[in-house]
Amino acid sequence: MTSVTYHDVRFLEPAKTRNYLNVDYGAFSWLFTKDHKRIGILYMFSISIMFILGGFFAMMMRLELLTPEGDLLTSDTYNKFFTLHGIIMIFFFLIPSIPAVLGNFILPIQLGAKDLAFPKLNLLSWYLYMIGAFVGLLVIILGGVDTGWTFYTPFSTQYSNMHVFGTTFGAFIVGFSSILTGLNFIVTIHRMRAPGLTWFRLPLFVWAMYATSLVQLLATPVLAITLVMLMIERVVHVGIFDPALGGDPLLYQHMFWFYSHPAVYIMILPAMGVASEVVAAFTRKKIFGYKFVAFSSLAIAFLGFLVWAHHMFVAGISVYSAMIFSFLSYFVAVPSAIKVFNWTATLYKGSVSWQTPMLYILGFIGLFTMGGVTGLFLAALGLDVHVTDTYFVVAHFHYIMVGGAVMAYFAGIHYWWPKITGRMYPEWWARLSALLVFAGFNLTFFPQFVLGYVGMPRRYHAYAPEFQVLNVMSTAGASILALGYALPLAYLLWSLRFGRKAGVNPWGAVGLEWTTNSPPPKDNFHETPVVTWDAYDYPAMLKAMGETQNV
Amino acid sequence: MTAVVHGDDEHAHHPFLQHQFEDLGQQHEASILGMWMFLSTEILFFGGVLCAYWIYRVMYPQAWVLGGEQQNTLAGGINTIVLIISSLTMALAVRNAQLGSRRATVAMLIATLFFGSVFLGVKGFEYTMHWREGLFPGVHFTWHEVPELAPKVQLFMVFYWGLTGLHALHMVIGVGLLLWMIWRAWRGHFGPEYYGPVEVMGLYWHFVDIVWIFLFPFLYLIPHFGVHHG
Ligand code: HEM
Ligand SMILES: [Cu+2]
């Protein structure tokens, strides 16, 4: 039993040993793997396909919106495209993204564990994901669905004769995959920490994943049961949510958003976790206010459950409940702002190095802040009534989901790529892609704030001519963004063969994942590590390294 | 979390120790916590429907009274008692597994299986009666005693079939798990060191019972505490 310290690992060359990638080969060794690292990679592969598919629908919409007339897509097709785009991006890409890929791969290693608590369940959740996604994709082939990703009744009951059943069923199944992942993480974090790894020594990514998992566990079943009721309603034609049959459409919205607002935190909390890791690693400092950042994740998860009806201000809820939900929505801003302040405070006087993960995270911090602040605008009743269902809302949620969550996902992929594959990605190209994504993103979505504010409604394929200039800007930005996203696909694949060998700890970062080989051995560590240091103890590490050099 | 760490070589490998765990204690705690987490998901799953159920009860009180009157309270009552007894036998099975008495464990598990099956049998009987009476929602719904309330009574029946169906599904899964546990107990897998699976099974079984304890008054006893609007 040895405890690993910083100075020795920094210079430890990866022994030429077996790792999780070369222990065995062949399709079956992947399809029946119980190794969390391989399952993470299976997820990475699957959600990348989804991202490309969702991106395709987005690009088609943006091309349609280049001109005011509806000339490229009929309005029916446009309706299907935004629906499929939304469903794919949210349920099949973004919700699994950081948890199922990076969480799966990194979390057990950060805990010093050999695997998640329930490896078979983990594999099962990937299969559920695949089955759900397959059902969802089948719907596209069969003719699509046009209700919007929210499946609002009575669109989804009376007016849509399309494949609402199939799509909701797909989302239902994927929901269980999400629940099982969350369950696995919670148990793993509670029960599988290495000796010495107390709660307040945990990396903030772990705290973030913990909070995320709680939301997955407690919110997703409500969506599941809501979708079941919707399916029953469509099959037996009894009014549960359909007003024409005596059902209550508002109840549907309440139940849908009871999940789907917290779901926003399933998307953003992991992103915040990645941000904390990256900020610490590239400023070589302890995260300022560690405990505040840790507890703010839990606070966000909790408060996230209390604000759902801010999506329903104009749907006919009473003025009083609207006021209460508006008021509560402001509270969520507090823990979110705490995080942003703490990251910036960490940056202050840090020796910031401008590697790609850091660039992505700086983008994340800026764009998330924009998304958050415009979220506060929307939480204000008066303004929301003005901009509901306009492009202002579209811009707002893309700032959070794409500018925030997707940026952080890319940051995390770059940050942990050396660990996952054992290879470095090409830094120059990666920086270029980070810049393209940032520029392209702003050009795509900033004009949409203006468009929405001056009244362009969402979900139409045609618009008034005076909106064209801003729409052209947005489509141009989308093209740059697409390029920015395509680049990593190319150079990351390239790096698998030609990338420089990464070594144990290419960033000189602290954290258990940086004490084991890259790629890690099948059981993650050759010996169970014993943790004797606090999270982000860069000062101690720098000191230790100085001492080794003095020797 | 155990404080002791073994090097790889000193592992005294218990045949049921999974490789990701350091020792049986850790494995046990993880599986118990896992089941609790699963149950918390389940609470929200059932909670979602019950919430919808309750809202419609407030909206359509008379229909809910009528719906409740269609239920066979005697059958439901018997089932409630049967399930409570099965919870007792389940608890005894866990206790015996922990004590390592193989025969008693198997006996108690079989008893639980028996009561679980009785429950499902009675439920099946009720379902058959409802079906015959035209109380299955959809095209088969032919109940028209109070025509103007029939659609709402049908909504009640949607909740009835949905909730009890979901519960019955859980019972069927429970019966499957019981069969597996009986087989394992018979093979002598359990003892003071290792009885986690039976305990986890027990948690699940008690939970399914408790769900019924909520469903019974909601779906059967409503008329007796009905809302009496003029
Ligand atoms: C992971 C990334 C993304 C997520 C999670 C996401 C999510 C969504 C959602 C939920 C909607 C609403 C769909 C609906 O109204 O039913 C939407 C709409 C839309 N998104 Fe995205 N999106 C992402 C990326 C993008 C990108 C990169 C672009 C542009 C290149 C884009 C362009 C659009 C457009 C044009 C709409 C339609 C707005 C409307 O007509 O209402 N999205 N997106
Ligand atoms: Cu919300």
Residue A130 has pLDDT above 90, yes or no: yes
Structure tokens of A461? 């394929």
Kindly tell me if the per-residue pLDDT of B97 is higher than 80. Answer: yes
Q: Are A108 and A192 in contact (CB under 8 A)?
A: yes
Chain A CB contacts of B42 under 8 Å are 221
For residues A495-504, average pLDDT: 94
Residue B118 vs residues A60, B75, B121: alpha-carbon distances, Å: 58, 11, 5
- Encode A511-520: b = buried (16+ Cβ within 10 Å), e = exposed: bbbbbbbbbb
For residue A22, count other CB atoms closer than 10 A to its CB: 10
Once rounded to an integer, what is the mean pLDDT over residues A392-417? Answer: 98
Residue B161's contacts (CB-CB under 8 Å, 6 or more residues apart) are B130, B136, B137
Rounded distance between C-alpha atoms, residue A550 and residue A548, angstroms:
5
Average pLDDT of chain B, as a whole number: 91
Q: Quickly count: other Cβ atoms within 10 Å of residue A270's Cβ.
A: 30
| Partner A contacted by B30 (CB < 8 A) | yes
The stretch A478-503 carries a mean pLDDT of 96
Chain B CB contacts of A225 below 8 Å: 45-46, 48-49
- Min Cα–Cα distance to chain A from B23, Å: 11
Q: Is the pLDDT of residue A3 over 70?
A: no
Give residue A77's identity as a one-letter amino acid code: T
Residue range A356-380, pLDDT digits in tens = 999 999 999 999 999 999 999 999 9
A43 lines ligand 1 (CB under 6 A): no
- The residue in chain B having the minimum alpha-carbon distance to the alpha carbon of residue A214 is B37
What are A296's two structure tokens? 């703010």
Cα nearest neighbour of B152 on chain A: A246
Ligand 1, atom 10: nearest CA belongs to which residue?
Answer: A86
Among all bound ligands, the one having the nearest atom to the CA of A253 is 2
Is residue A515 a part of any domain in this protein? yes
Residue A27 lies in a domain: no
Nearest CA to ligand 1 atom 27: A55
Cα dihedral A128, B35, A192, A174, rounded to 10, equals 20
A87 lines ligand 1 (CB under 6 A): no
Q: Considering only residues B126 and B146, tell me which one the structure prediction assigns the higher pLDDT.
A: B126
d(CA A517, CA A18): 10
| Structural domains counted in chain A | 1
Task: State the DSSP code for A243.
Answer: G
Shortest-distance atom of ligand 1 to CA A460: 40
Confidence at residue B8, expressed as pLDDT on a 0 to 100 scale: 45
Judge contact between A68 and A464, C-beta under 8 A. yes
Note the pLDDT tens digit of each residue in A426-483.
Answer: 999 999 999 999 999 999 999 999 999 999 999 999 999 999 999 999 999 999 999 9
Helix axes B24-59, B196-220, angle to 10 degrees: 10
A124 at B interface, C-beta within 8 A: no
Q: Report the CATH number at residue A401.
A: 1.20.210.10
The ipTM of this complex is 0.91
Structure tokens at B100: 């390592």
Residue B191, strand partner residues: B194
Verify whether the Cβ–Cβ distance A222 to B47 is below 8 Å: yes
Please report the atom of ligand 1 found closest to the CA of residue A78.
40
- Centroid of ligand 2 to alpha carbon of A41 (angstroms): 31
Beta bridge partners of A390: A457
Say whether pLDDT at B9 is over 50. Answer: no
Whether the pLDDT of residue A533 is over 60: the answer is yes
- Quote the pLDDT of residue A123: 98
Helix, strand, or coil (residue A276) = helix
Residues of B in contact with A222 (CB under 8 A): 44-45, 47-48
Q: How far apart are CA A500 and CA A492, in angstroms?
A: 12
Select from B4, B21, B37, B149 the residue whose CB has the most chain A CBs within 10 Å, as the one to mutate to test that interface.
B37
Could you say which residues from 518 to 537 on chain A have a Cβ atom under 8 Å away from some Cβ of chain B?
Answer: 523, 527-528, 530
Nearest beta carbon to residue A246 from set B8, B46, B155: B155
CA distance B225 to B69: 11
CB-defined contacts A:B, below 8 A: 109
Q: Determine the atom of ligand 1 nearest the C-alpha atom of A461.
A: 40
Amino acid identity of A67? T
Radius of gyration of chain B (CA): 22
Distance CA B186, CA B179 (A): 10
Q: Return the closest-CA partner of residue A268 out of A400, A396, A367, A407.
A: A400
Considering only CB atoms, which chain A residues are within 8 Å of B46?
Answer: 225
Tell me: pLDDT of A211 over 80. yes
User: Is B158 near chain A, with CB under 8 Å?
Assistant: yes
Distance from CA of A524 to the nearest CA of B (A): 11
In a domain? residue A22: no
Mean pLDDT of A517-530: 92
Tell whether ligand 1 has an atom less than 6 A from the beta carbon of residue A402. Answer: yes
Q: Residue A2 has what pLDDT?
A: 42
Q: Would you say how long chain A is, in residues?
A: 551
* Domains within chain B, CATH numbers bracketed: 22-225 (1.20.120.80)
Q: State how far the alpha carbon of A93 is from the alpha carbons of A96, A372, B101, B200, B221, in Å.
A: 6, 21, 50, 33, 45
pLDDT of residue A402: 97
Closest residue by Cα to atom 7, ligand 1, is: A86
Q: Which atom of ligand 1 sits closest to the CA of residue A478?
A: 30
Q: In the numeric block, which tokens belong to residue A500?
A: 């420089």
> Is A297 contained in some domain?
yes
Which of A356 and A549 is assigned the larger pLDDT? A356
Contacts of A363 (CB under 8 A, 6+ apart): A403, A407, A434, A437, A438, A441
Task: Give the residue numbers spanning the domain of A231.
Answer: 33-550
Residue A176 is assigned to a structural domain of this protein: yes
Residue of A37, A238, A254 for testing the chain B interface, max B β-carbons within 10 Å: A238
Q: Do A1 and B155 touch (CB under 8 A)?
A: no
Q: Which of A4-18, B107-121, B189-203 has the lowest mean pLDDT?
A: A4-18
Using CA positions, which residue lies closest to atom 13 of ligand 1? A86
- Residues in A touching B56 (Cβ below 8 Å): 248
| Per-residue pLDDT band at B12 (split at 50, 70, 90) | low
DSSP codes joined into one string, B79-137: HHHHHHHHHHHHHHHHHHHHHT-HHHHHHHHHHHHHHHHHHHHHHHHHHHHHHHTT-SS
Residues B7 and A1: beta-carbon distance below 8 Å: yes
* A320: Cβ contacts below 8 Å, ≥ 6 apart: none
Query: ∠ at Cα A292 (A291, A296), nearest 5°?
Result: 115
CB contact under 8 A, A191 and B33: yes
Average pLDDT for B197-224: 94
Model confidence, pTM: 0.92
Q: What pLDDT, on the 0 to 100 scale, is given for residue B225?
A: 65
Q: Which atom belonging to ligand 1 lies closest to the Cα atom of A62?
A: 35
More confident residue, A391 or A16: A391
Q: Is A167 exposed, middle or buried (0-12, 13-18, 19+ CB in 10 A)?
A: buried
In order of A61, A75, A166, B134, the CA distances from A139 in angstroms are: 19, 19, 6, 34
Chain B residue numbers touching A188 (CB-CB < 8 A): 30
What is the per-residue DSSP string for A412-443? Answer: HHHHHHHHHHSB---HHHHHHHHHHHHHHHHH
pLDDT band at A551 (very low <50, low <70, confident <90, very high): very low
Classify residue A349 by burial, with Cβ atoms within 10 Å: 0-12, 13-18, 19+. Answer: exposed
Helix/strand number for chain A, H first, E second: 19, 0
pLDDT digit string (tens) for A221-232?
Answer: 999 999 999 999
Over range A227-253, report the average pLDDT.
91
Contacts of B138 in chain A (CB under 8 A): 235-238
Burial zone of A218 (CB within 10 Å; 0-12 exposed, 13-18 middle, 19+ buried): buried
B151 inside 8 A of chain A by CB: yes
Q: Say yes or no: A229 contacts chain B, CB-CB below 8 A.
A: yes
Does residue A179 have a pLDDT over 50? yes
Tell me, what's the pLDDT at A550? Answer: 45
Residue A413 · residue A434 · CB < 8 Å: no
